[in-house]
Amino acid sequence: MERYYQDSIECASPEKIREIQDEKLVEQVKHVWENVPYYRKKMEEKGVKPEDIKGVEDLHKLPFLSKYDLRDSYPYGLLGVPKKDVVRIHSTSGTTGKRVVAYYTKGDLDLWAECCARAIVAAGGSEEDVIQVSYGYGLFTGGLGLHDGAHKVGCMTIPASSGNTERQIMFIRDLQATIICCTPSYAAYLGESMKEMGLKPEDIPLKAGIFGAEAWSEEMRHDIEKTLGIKAFDIYGLTELSGPGVAFECSEQNGMHINEDHFIAEIIDPDTEEVLPEGSQGELVFTAIDKKAFPMIRYRTRDICTLHREKCSCGRTLIRMEKPKGRTDDMLIIRGVNVFPSQIETVLLEHGYQANYQIIVGRENNTDTLDVHVEMTPEMFTDDITEINKRQGDLVKGMLSMLGIKAKVTLVAPKSITRSEGKAVRVIDNRKI
Ligand code: DLL
């Protein structure tokens, strides 16, 4: 039977959720107008005043915030409370420019923990469970986010953090961990390492995994579920909005429920910024309606996604987001064609490979080149050149029909592509150099 952390919200009528959102949004806009001069200026430039916002129907009048605003206002320009009320910060890795630093009051941490607690209970967690948190602890939000959520649920929490794979497996076995939280690529690596150690799924007590922080396909879910002998749940979030737990999957595994009493979601056309009707694919935009220290209004996530309002058979009424298809800034334009790494991954998994690959983009004689290095699994490893050529040819064909362009595929030996303990690095774009 489905269990909920907070059924009064998770299963509330859409009217009740709307009432909560209306009330909190009006409050939040006032809060920002009074305390965040950077956003107030943006509102003034657009000619909007707090009294123009009477509820969610007026959300479209408000200006967007983007990563550029975060960079412009770094470090304290978007802070919504006096510094003395901030009790923690988190930060992104900053690989694509300046780091994003997000701030939290005690209340903000509490509502974030509540979001993660809902995700853990939806994955079958209760105080009977031992939960191993193998997301990185520290500036990354994964570790501490799930950790605080696990405390709320009352699980025995193992703050393993990422890395040291043998020790991870030892803890899972010795302490009888039933739930593991980490990136899907690390979960796949744990499965691979278990196999190498001669362990079968039935040798470990895990029953569920809560995986997110990067895009992963349905095929990868099936692989992880099989190798670890668990049910794998997706979880979504971003540092700007608190961290993991903005949305979470239930036992239906059919989209992630957005915690709508804290976040209002919209889908926009990334080029025109026009709000699109429900069911359309576009860029996901979130308004955090009760987070006070770092109050994001209409924040453009750059994640490409679709929303669905139909009732879910788990009983939750919270709107669902599909697995993000990728990010607008992940999209590679190769010889004029839009290519997402997730499409390449789908082809590989359909052909029996695992998600151990690297995409290398370059330019020769003014033409883009697309090279995909793919690891053979230990079972399919061979040095028979004819066989390797045939398999490479099959992948080239598969990619041509998925992407519409020809890639060069090279099969490489098992374990020759570096594993990641956090988010996997899939693309090397040498055109930028
Ligand atoms: O990745 C927060 C998180 C930690 C989520 C642990 C889930 C689990 P950032 O480092 O700020 O925060 O990266 C946010 O990661 O905009 C998406 O592009 C991507 N992302 C996060 N979760 C998912 C997911 C954390 N379930 C960015 N599926 C987001 C696909 C995801 N992409």
Q: From residue 41, how far is each of 35, 61, 293 by CA, in Å? A: 11, 14, 18
**Closest by CA position to 412, among listed 347, 349, 358:** 358
245 ligand 1 Cβ < 6 A: no
Percentage of residues in the chain having pLDDT higher than 70: 98
- Residue by residue, DSSP assigns 173-191 as HHTT--EEEE-HHHHHHHH
Q: Fold for domain 332-429? A: GMP Synthetase; Chain A, domain 3 (3.30.300)
Written as six digits, the tokens of 170 are 């030892």
184 ligand 1 Cβ < 6 A: no
Which atom of ligand 1 approaches the CA of 140 most closely?
Answer: 10
Collect all residues with Cβ–Cβ distance below 8 Å to 86 and sequence separation of at least 6: 79, 103, 104, 105, 293
141 ligand 1 Cβ < 6 A: yes
Q: Scanning the structure block, which residue is given the tokens 């939000």?
A: 141
Q: From residue 181, how far is each of 115, 119, 270 by CA, in Å? A: 15, 11, 32
Which atom of ligand 1 approaches the CA of 256 most closely?
Answer: 26
Collect all residues with Cβ–Cβ distance below 8 Å to 269 and sequence separation of at least 6: 276, 282, 283
- Residue by residue, DSSP assigns 145-211 as HHHHHHHHHT-EEE---S--HHHHHHHHHHTT--EEEE-HHHHHHHHHHHHHTT--GGGS---EEEE
In angstroms, the CA 103 to CA 151 distance is 21
99 ligand 1 Cβ < 6 A: no
237 ligand 1 Cβ < 6 A: yes
Q: Are strands 320-321 and 307-308 parallel, antiparallel or unpaired?
A: antiparallel
Q: What is the pLDDT of residues 1-19, one digit of tens each?
A: 899 999 999 999 999 999 9
Which atom of ligand 1 approaches the CA of 247 most closely?
Answer: 26
- Residue by residue, DSSP assigns 7-51 as HHHHT--HHHHHHHHHHHHHHHHHHHHHH-HHHHHHHHHHT--GG
243 ligand 1 Cβ < 6 A: yes
Output the tens digit of pLDDT for each of the chain's 433 residues: 899 999 999 999 999 999 999 999 999 999 999 999 999 999 999 999 999 999 999 999 999 999 999 989 999 999 999 999 999 999 987 655 668 999 999 999 999 999 999 999 999 999 999 999 999 999 999 999 999 999 999 999 999 999 999 999 999 999 999 999 999 999 999 999 999 999 999 999 999 999 999 988 898 899 999 999 999 999 999 999 999 999 999 999 999 999 999 999 999 999 999 999 999 999 999 999 999 999 999 999 999 999 999 989 999 999 999 999 888 888 888 988 888 888 899 899 999 998 899 999 999 888 899 999 999 999 899 999 999 999 999 999 999 999 989 999 999 999 999 998 899 889 998 986 5
In angstroms, the CA 81 to CA 32 distance is 10
Q: Do domains 1-328 and 332-429 have the same CATH topology?
A: no
Secondary structure (3-state) at 58:
helix
Q: From residue 324, how far is each of 1, 40, 146 by CA, in Å? A: 28, 31, 20
What's this model's pTM, rounded to 2 decimal places? 0.92
Q: How far is the CA of 227 from the centre of ligand 1 (A)?
A: 23
Q: How far is the CA of 389 from the centre of ligand 1 (A)?
A: 37
Contact between residue 269 and residue 277 where contact means Cβ atoms under 8 Å apart: no
> Mutation test of ligand 1: which of 96, 118, 214, 304 has the most ligand atoms closer than 8 Å to its C-beta?
214
Q: What is the pLDDT of residues 97-133, one digit of tens each?
A: 668 999 999 999 999 999 999 999 999 999 999 999 9
**Closest by CA position to 221, among listed 235, 237, 205, 204:** 235
**Identity at 387, one-letter amino acid code:** E
**Closest by CA position to 305, among listed 248, 265, 334, 260:** 265
135 ligand 1 Cβ < 6 A: yes
- Residue 61 DSSP class: G
Written as six digits, the tokens of 286 are 């979130």
Secondary structure (3-state) at 73:
coil
Tell me which residue has its CA closest to atom 4 in ligand 1. Answer: 142
**Closest by CA position to 190, among listed 147, 217, 160:** 160
Q: Fold for domain 1-328? A: Rossmann fold (3.40.50)
**Closest by CA position to 380, among listed 399, 346, 358, 356:** 356
Spell out the domain ranges in the chain. Answer: 1-328, 332-429
pLDDT at 29: 98
Which atom of ligand 1 approaches the CA of 330 most closely?
Answer: 18
Residue ranges of alpha helices (H) inside 251-359 are 341-350
327 ligand 1 Cβ < 6 A: yes
